[in-house]
Structure 1
Amino acid sequence: MIHRAATFLLTCTLLTGMHFTTDSLSAAEPATIVTFGDSTTATRGPLVVYSMILAKELPQQGVPVKVINAGIGGNTTQNAIARFEKDVLAKQPDLVVIQFGINDSAVDVWKDPPAKASRVSQKQYEANLRSLIDQLQQRDIKVILMTSNSLRWIPRIKKLYGKPPYNSDDPQGFNLFLKDYAQSVREIAREKQVPLVDIYTAFEEFDKHPDQSTDDLLLDGMHPNTAGQRKVADLLIPQIKKTLAASQK
């Protein structure tokens, strides 16, 4: 009888604890989220970008948030390091979503003379990402890493970048270096034990289904369109909810 009573009390205690954890997100002060990236993160005319979707839909799902979009077109992780204090740390975020890679990996073959290497070497890119994560973790700020979306040729991009080492005849030719930078993000996420949202893989998996292609998710071969931004948000929202819930424990 005593054993049953003790078991009952323990079960009630556990259930009460679970209930508190679930409710704590909606009862808490809004969490500040900074989306930190390049032009695929930045606002773009009338396009509803993923940060706007987060700001609208997370509160509707019981997760009050303030979302700050810190995306700037053309940025590499070198730029990210330079503006990190002002654009991220000064905002006192609870969570930072980091997505860079397209500009870092680009080889500017359109220049005169043509560039022969990526704007930021893969080794330096990895070091920059580690530095950003280390600074956040030292401050107990949660981090989510995202790979960049994959790319596709369109005539304007082919004119600029359709030269060696890129292969303009290969549908995957513009991802020549970006795919390796995406792999670096995956490895760093494992190393630093931070959540990963693999946008690159999601866009490529989308391409494998009949009657659809990655082009359907892109405005211009590079930037996610409405459908692409929706896909990013749909992948990110569950991970944000999970990450913020874990921080309440």
Structure 2
Amino acid sequence: MIHRATTCLCCCLLLIITLFSTNELPAADQKPTTIVTFGDSTTAPRGPLVVYSTILAKELPQQGVPVNVINAGIGGNTTQNAVARFEKDVLARQPDLVVIQFGINDSAVDVWKNPPATKSRVSKKQYEANLRSLIDELQKRKIKVILMTSNSLRWIPRIKKLYGKPPYDAEDPQGFNLFLKDYAQSVREIAREKQVPLVDIYQAFEEYGKQPGQSTDDLLLDGMHPNTAGQRKVADLLIPQIKTTLSSQQK
């Protein structure tokens, strides 16, 4: 009897030592990772639409990654707005990881104004500087970053009425992406420069539309904002990248 009790005690001790030696805690005891999704109206809550942030909050824990997801998207925002509210809406939340996605509003040329605008709301040079400043501050604080390009756009009658004037080409199916495509390229280049992960939503939406029987319009609610299928696609691309990024952080 004494021999058996001693054996059981040794087994328990071995199990405890193994758990601590691998620096892993049972999933139930893991501290949730705080993720801030920082963006414009393609990130922000949108009525009953289940946005990608909500999908992350639900499905990452189901995959063994406990998270606290804070949606810091605000409609109409540019990177100028992002810099202005960065301290309050991002840094004050003490995130472990920040997902950054801006570009649609930055690149927009408001030709509907009187007189019509002739330049993007935020120049590409300033857009790049703003993104770099956000990333630099996060990296200085050892906060992980994932960059996302904005989804590509499509004409619908309402948008064409507002924006279907030069320099945009209302007859070109890609005409509303005239400037956005270049801003997306800037994001790719900054991701390489700053050595941060990139989730290329722009490219993914475009590639989706090239498949037989599919259209990029199928992923959009109103020519601009991802619909249910579009938000699902964003989440499906983002989830594995988040898991990879957090895994590398633990090593």
The two structures have a TM-score, normalised by structure 2, of: 0.90
**Corresponding residue for residue 208 of structure 2:** 206
**Corresponding residue for residue 139 of structure 2:** 137
**Corresponding residue for residue 32 of structure 2:** 30
Q: Over aligned residue pairs, what C-alpha RMSD do you find? A: 1.5
Which stretches of structure 1, 4 residues or more, deviate above 6 A after TM superposition?
none
SS of match in other structure, 2:212? coil
How many equivalent pairs are there?
Answer: 232
* 2:59 matches 1:57: yes
Structure 2 gaps of 5+ residues are 1-17
Q: Which amino acid aligns with 1:183?
A: Q
**Corresponding residue for residue 107 of structure 1:** 109
* 2:87 matches 1:85: yes
SS of match in other structure, 2:127? helix
Counterpart of 1:66 (choices 65, 68, 71) is 68
SS of match in other structure, 1:111? coil
Following superposition, the deviation at residue 28 of structure 1 comes to 2.5
Q: Which amino acid aligns with 1:179?
A: K
Separation in 2, partners of 1:155, 1:211: 22
**Corresponding residue for residue 13 of structure 1:** none
Separation in 2, partners of 1:216, 1:186: 25
Separation in 2, partners of 1:169, 1:199: 24
Q: Which amino acid aligns with 2:117?
A: A
Separation in 1, partners of 2:106, 2:185: 14
Q: Which amino acid aligns with 2:226?
A: P
Q: Which amino acid aligns with 1:163?
A: K
1:223-234 aligned within 5 A: 223-234=225-236
Separation in 2, partners of 1:241, 1:99: 18
Deviation digits for residues 29-58 of structure 1 (CA, Å, limit 9, x no counterpart): 000000000000000000000000000000
User: Which of 1 and 2 has higher RCO (CA within 8 Å, sep 6+)?
Assistant: 1
Following superposition, the deviation at residue 24 of structure 1 comes to 5.7
Q: Percent identity?
A: 84
Separation in 2, partners of 1:144, 1:156: 33
The two structures have a TM-score, normalised by structure 1, of: 0.91
**Corresponding residue for residue 148 of structure 2:** 146
SS of match in other structure, 2:182? helix
**Corresponding residue for residue 245 of structure 1:** 247
